């Protein structure tokens, strides 16, 4: 309004901001309250004032989901930049920058270990890595995680956070949709649970492929989940979209999700689900030999034509 508010105040507040190290306090993007960084870390990056779930890194996700002593696996390298893509910058430069910032090769981290003592393979998306976009590297990570789950006879849990396909990889990126679907089918065919935890945001090609094919669909509170953006839909259908459209609670109400779980309760919930789904499978082999022995005759009858 005048020179004080326009010029002097921003300068003064700028001076003070520099005195407070940025990593000591964090401003909640939802309620704008300042939170002490250490408190935020203990609260798993959930605002203590308004309950807003902030985005967390893939590494932190693995840490707070798996029991201590889990091991992160090395993922096969996908061919970098198959299309030699360039917009304002080279794709290889963008990749390198993301790799340096996140110390990850691509947007998904995979680990195996246990959740509350029960074996599990967990894959977590890193949204900070090019918006968690799905290119060949991410496809490779999901395929590897699925194969590992089958090999270890463990359920597969995927925490998704993705803007969708990776534009810079064009058709190669789209091919990851059927690839990841087939990979997660392997897990199901092996009779193992496939659990998807949708985190903010889960959109585009990830939603349109394996993320919607879980045995159990969980989401974090208020996570944005959808295929196309709300604005695009609004312009297409020429209608105002309802309140909370594409948010976790709305999808739960409309039957797309099985549950919305707070981050602090996620680990215990996953442990309970795995326990419920896995217990009958563990008991089955003990009971299985008995009926087979009792029905010895049919199996012999089956065997004899084969010999002849």
Which range in 39-47, 138-146, 180-188, 278-286 contacts Zn ion by CB under 5 A? 39-47
Q: What minimum distance in Å lies between the beta carbon of 28 and Zn ion?
A: 3
- Do the Cβ atoms of 81 and 168 come closer than 8 Å? yes
Q: Least Å distance between CB 122 and Zn ion?
A: 27
Beta strands in the chain, from DSSP E residues, in sequence order: 25-27, 34-36, 71-72, 108-115, 118-125, 156-162, 194-202, 216-219, 259-260
Do residues 79 and 95 touch, judged by C-beta distance below 8 A? no
Give the Cα separation of 32 and 41 in Å (integer).
17
| Cβ 46 to Zn ion shortest distance, Å | 9
Which residue of 44, 46, 47, 216 would you call a contact of Zn ion, by CB under 5 A? Answer: 47
The nearer residue to Zn ion, 47 or 219, going by C-beta atoms, is 47
Q: Which residues of 264-285 are buried (b: 16+ CB within 10 A; e: fewer)?
A: eebbebbbebbeebbeeeeeee
What is the SS3 assignment for 254-298?
Answer: CCCCCEECCHHHHHHHHHHHHHHHHHHHHHHHHHCHHHHHHCHHH
- 115: contact with Zn ion by CB under 5 A: no
Distances (CA, A) of 249 to 7, 114, 221, 264: 43, 29, 7, 17
* 52-60, 162-170, 212-220, 277-285 -> range binding Zn ion (CB under 5 A): 52-60
Contact between 50 and Zn ion per CB under 5 A: yes
Phi and psi for 186 in degrees, rounded to 5? -55, -40
199 is in an annotated binding site: no
**48 part of the interface to Zn ion, by CB under 5 A:** no
Q: Regarding beta strands 71-72 and 118-125, do their DSSP bridges make them parallel or antiparallel, or are they unpaired?
A: unpaired
With respect to Zn ion, which residue has the nearer C-beta, 28 or 211? 28
State the minimum distance, in angstroms, from the CB of residue 33 to Zn ion.
5
Three-point CA angle 209, 215, 219, nearest 5°? 75
Kindly tell me which of 48 and 152 has the beta carbon lying closer to Zn ion.
48
Q: Is 64 annotated as a binding residue?
A: no
- Is 47 known as a binding-site position? yes
138 vs 132: CA distance, rounded Å? 9
Prior bond of 288 cis (ω within 30°): no
Shortest reach from residue 47's CB to Zn ion, in Å:
3
Least separation in angstroms between CB 99 and Zn ion: 31
In the shown chain, the binding pattern of residues 12 to 31 toward Zn ion, with x for contact by CB under 5 A and - for none, equals: ----------------x-xx
Q: Does residue 52 interact with Zn ion by CB under 5 A? A: yes
Q: Is 31 annotated as a binding residue?
A: yes
Q: How big is the site for Zn ion, counted in residues (CB under 5 A)?
A: 7
Distances from the Cα of 122 to the Cαs of 64, 156, 227, in angstroms? 11, 6, 24
Taking the complex as a whole, the smallest distance from the CB of residue 43 to Zn ion amounts, in Å, to: 11
Contact pick of 8, 12, 24, 49 for Zn ion (by CB under 5 A): 49
Residues 267, 245: contact at Cβ < 8 Å? no
152 binds Zn ion (CB under 5 A): no
Which residues fall in the annotated binding site for Zn(2+)?
28, 31, 47, 50
Write out the residues near Zn ion by the rule CB under 5 A.
28, 30-31, 47, 49-50, 52
Which residues fall in the annotated binding site?
28, 31, 47, 50
């Amino acid at each position: 309004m005048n020179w004080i508010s326009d010029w002097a105040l921003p300068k003064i507040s700028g001076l003070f901001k520099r005195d407070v190290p940025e990593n000591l306090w964090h401003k909640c993007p939802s309620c704008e309250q300042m939170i002490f960084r250490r408190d935020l870390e203990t609260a798993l990056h959930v605002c203590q004032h308004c309950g807003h779930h902030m985005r967390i890194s893939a590494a932190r996700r693995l840490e707070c989901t798996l029991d201590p002593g889990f091991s992160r696996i090395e993922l096969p390298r996908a061919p970098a930049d198959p299309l030699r893509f360039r917009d304002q910058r080279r794709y290889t430069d963008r990749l390198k920058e993301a790799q340096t910032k996140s110390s990850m090769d691509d947007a998904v981290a995979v680990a195996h270990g246990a959740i509350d003592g029960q074996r599990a393979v967990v894959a977590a998306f890193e949204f900070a890595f090019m918006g968690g976009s799905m290119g060949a590297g991410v496809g490779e990570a999901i395929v590897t995680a699925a194969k590992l789950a089958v090999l270890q006879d463990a359920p597969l849990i995927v925490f998704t956070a993705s803007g969708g396909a990776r534009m810079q990889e064009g058709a190669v990126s789209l091919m990851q949709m059927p690839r990841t679907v087939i990979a997660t089918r392997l897990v199901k065919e092996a009779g193992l649970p496939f659990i998807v935890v949708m985190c903010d945001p889960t959109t585009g090609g990830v939603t349109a492929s394996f993320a919607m094919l879980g045995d159990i669909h969980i989401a974090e509170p208020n996570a944005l989940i959808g295929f196309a953006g709300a604005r695009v839909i609004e312009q297409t259908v020429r209608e105002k979209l309802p309140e909370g459209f594409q948010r976790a609670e709305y999808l739960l109400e409309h039957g797309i999700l099985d549950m919305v779980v707070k981050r602090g309760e996620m680990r215990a919930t996953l442990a309970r689900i795995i326990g419920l789904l896995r217990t009958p499978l563990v008991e089955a082999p003990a009971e299985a030999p008995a009926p087979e022995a009792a029905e010895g005759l049919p199996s012999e009858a089956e065997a004899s034509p084969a010999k002849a």
